[in-house]
Structure 1
Amino acid sequence: MPVLRHTTNALGALPTSVRLTLFGAVAAAVALLPAASASASASAAEPGVGGYADPSYASACTFHRYGEGETPPLSLFSADPLCVEYAKRDITVANGGAARFLLAEPARFAIAVPACRYWQLDHWSVQATPGGTELVGWDGSYWFDKAEGSAAARVRNITVAGQPARAEAAAKVIRPYDARLADALVSDAAGVRVQLPVSGLC
């Protein structure tokens, strides 16, 4: 496939440290849902009870929207449900976008973990240089409800080298650099919903 070859070559041409920064950053954020959900209890989540659906509290959400590298204020700790939307379209090493992304993620993660009901929408784009061809991109939706004992994730609008693509194509590009991220993309594109232990604190 020409698109996959072009994208893989573009990634391979990047210095190793740059590739690790890009895909390490993306993998850390894709891991947010399982990590945050697991905080509801020390017990492991039970696997799939069906495909993706928006949370039952969707109509109660007021989304707080944040730009590239922007962190939410601590005042959001009291929001229930906590619903956030993040722009992550500037994951680029050459202009510092990847670094800003990495610096923002710990605060975003810290806001999510204590929430009882949490819904995150985000919009991803990874590129080697500002204004360059988007190597990989997608839109994500991840939520959990510790009182109900459920969580779900889905990715949509996947692109490879700026062209619409299936999750498997994006995973093939990413797999040499981060196998866990590749697996997560394929799983989340299909839509996954899991049961969690109910939290008595919610």
Structure 2
Amino acid sequence: MRRTTTTILIALMLLSAAAPAQADPAAQTVTGGYTPPPFGPTCEIHRFGEGERPPLSLWLHDPLCVEYSKRDITFDNGDALTFLLAEPSRLVLAGPACRYWQQDHWSVQVSEGATALVAWDGNYWFDKKLRTAAVHLANFRVNGHTAGVGDVVVALAPQFPQLAQALAAYGTEHGESGVSVALPYSLWCDLRL
């Protein structure tokens, strides 16, 4: 029962974190489960290794599609610091993009070879002109145990089938969560595209 409660709490935190805060709450609404980016088939994916900083010139790409390896966020070998030093340039790159798709693979551990404290594969995208965004987390694990909406669906199904069915829109696999949200209007992207 304790693991089920923990799983439910983690999944609810993931769903609340998946929808970014807006100054105007009416400007943002959850629109359903994860959907892939409509511009995905046209993407040239730029791949970056552990702690590798992308060139800021990529902000000119539209759509901008990146994949980051973040599997070695390890405290005892200094790789956690390398990760932290690279992350600001990644965020700066994403900010002005109008169509952006990021895939990444996370693993945070105390020491090399240890069980990950937290790990997941992320898939995040937004299209400011279409005013939509989506987040999908897969293989989400906390201390080696899966945690996600899919786990909550399984846990709730016997006692609360209707609630489980409603939550299934956000993921049905163990360690999976996904959500799509509406974005506010972007004059920059409306003029740019």
Q: TM-score, with normalisation over the residues of structure 2?
A: 0.70
Deviation at 1:77, TM superposition (A): 1.2
- Tell me how far apart the structure 1 counterparts of residues 35 and 92 of structure 2 sit (CA, whole Å): 25
Query: Residues 44-86 of structure 1, C-alpha deviation per residue, up to 9 Å, x if partnerless?
Result: 5412011101111011111100011101002201000000000
Would the aligned equivalents of 2:138 and 2:177 in 1 still touch at CA under 8 Å?
no
Query: Which of 48, 62, 73 is 2:30 aligned to?
Result: 48
Query: Residues 116-144 of structure 1, C-alpha deviation per residue, up to 9 Å, x if partnerless?
Result: 00000000111110122222211001111
- The residue that corresponds to 1:167 in the other structure is 148
- The residue that corresponds to 2:116 in the other structure is 134
Give structure 2 stretches of 5+ with no counterpart: 4-16, 152-169
Task: Give the strand-richer structure, 1 or 2.
Answer: 2
Q: RMSD between aligned alpha carbons?
A: 2.9
Alignment pair present for 1:147 and 2:147: no
Tell me the SS of whatever aligns to 2:70.
strand
Alignment pair present for 1:124 and 2:111: no
Alignment pair present for 1:114 and 2:93: no
- The residue that corresponds to 2:179 in the other structure is 192
Give the residue type in structure 2 aligned to 1:60: T
- Tell me how far apart the structure 2 counterparts of residues 34 and 160 of structure 1 sit (CA, whole Å): 22
Query: Which of 46, 71, 96 is 1:64 aligned to?
Result: 46
Deviation at 1:106, TM superposition (A): 0.6
Deviation at 1:158, TM superposition (A): 1.8
Alignment pair present for 1:96 and 2:78: yes
Deviation at 1:2, TM superposition (A): 11
- Tell me how far apart the structure 2 counterparts of residues 33 and 119 of structure 1 sit (CA, whole Å): 16
Give the residue type in structure 1 aligned to 2:36: D
Give structure 1 stretches of 5+ with no counterpart: 4-30, 171-186
Identity %: 54
Tell me the SS of whatever aligns to 1:69.
coil
- Tell me how far apart the structure 1 counterparts of residues 24 and 130 of structure 2 sit (CA, whole Å): 15
Q: TM-score, with normalisation over the residues of structure 1?
A: 0.67
Number of equivalenced pairs: 154
Larger radius of gyration: 2
Query: Residues 87-126 of structure 1, C-alpha deviation per residue, up to 9 Å, x if partnerless?
Result: 0101111111110111001100000000000000000111
Give the residue type in structure 1 aligned to 2:67: E
Query: Which of 128, 131, 139 is 1:157 aligned to?
Result: 139
Distance 1:80 1:43, change over 3 A: farther
